[in-house]
Structure 1
């Protein structure tokens, strides 16, 4: 599964892209203008960007040049999909496809670009990786009461800093998310002490060993029908992985809110800054 941002102002084409790429197992976010695409890319940290050329506010080529000029996005795989692709696009994009084109071919191109990226960029271990699961199992013991209280207070600080209703840190098994400490969680999640892995993006966060940012779970093609969205009312979601002392992704630090579009890349940076304190407490659980 990959996160893809597609910039396309034709709603019919955008809908077809979402349907085709979602069926291929990806999470797809669509922007209708060039400036909106840049904001969405900064917020969602995608694995692949697909850009039309002629869009309101900024052309696809201009968006791509902006991304290539930024160190944080310079290596981001980019595909131009346009009926009017300029010749200069070939020098900026990893691949250029001219419309009309079969959307199956677009899905194949996305798969190939992601595979090329994965061969260059380290990725996380599968959730079922025995060494990772062993590391999680070592953290399942009873916590020190002082650490437990400290962790809950830290979640309160995280929630306040993010300006949201809920924050939690959790361990992630291959099939479940186990809450260690939380504030403000929906009753269903709080009373259960966690959730099945398919309910939330925690599997993406830990399995991909990367942050996840969703502006609205109800609009997300993968999670809009999950109980976390439909029963618990979660809309905004941001999370970063938690690691043990060997660098294995064992859990997640997450913030949630019932309102959409509450979080930005600054939220992710704030969560990352909090992880060292949580790791110290996790280390003590293993000891």
Structure 2
């Protein structure tokens, strides 16, 4: 079986290498991609969008629909992993989970976690106290704030310099994952629990899609940021950079939340009670 898998990989890899011979030379100005719309983007993007970063102008303005659905794909991947990886277990009744009120009414208190179960993939760790390395924990405490600050800069300044919502969201999600690894998964859940991560996934997509709807309500086309000029009091060209910033914020929130959610599921085998 292993030999068959290796043979299939080598076969398709050889076909890909063979087909790459038909590609135009690297950087060829006469390539089809360079002769189609690239000259227009290079010459007119700053004049039409007031955004110096041509890549961001193309992704969030000229190709705004495509980037919206890319964000939806990331959100859908997070939802799919929630259903595939998350392990939901019923909470077993426990005498300590019931409190008798003076009126005779019994109130059931839920802890939110099922009783500990054995796991073959992970070493059983104490739920109340986990030994940690003081060097790793202190270093992460120093690194995480600067990483998050840089992530916010990448998102907010991505339409003027290299960066954007995808890049900043990855950096922001990595900082939260670093904190969870340096401490433990339950400490990370105290900072951003599962419910909050899922709602942030939804919020990011809502911000992107809602920006397009706002443009329509103001009399423009969907994701036509020029319609925001009447709302923000800026000319129709300069306001496009503000619209791009709005959708980049939505992309960053979704990417960050999906990364954190996937880490929680993978690190704890979907149980959220043990892991790295």
Taking structure 1 as the reference length, what is the TM-score of the superposition? 0.25
> Over alpha carbons, which structure has the higher Rg?
2
Q: Which structure dedicates a bigger proportion of its chain to helix?
A: 2
Greater strand share, 1 or 2? Answer: 1
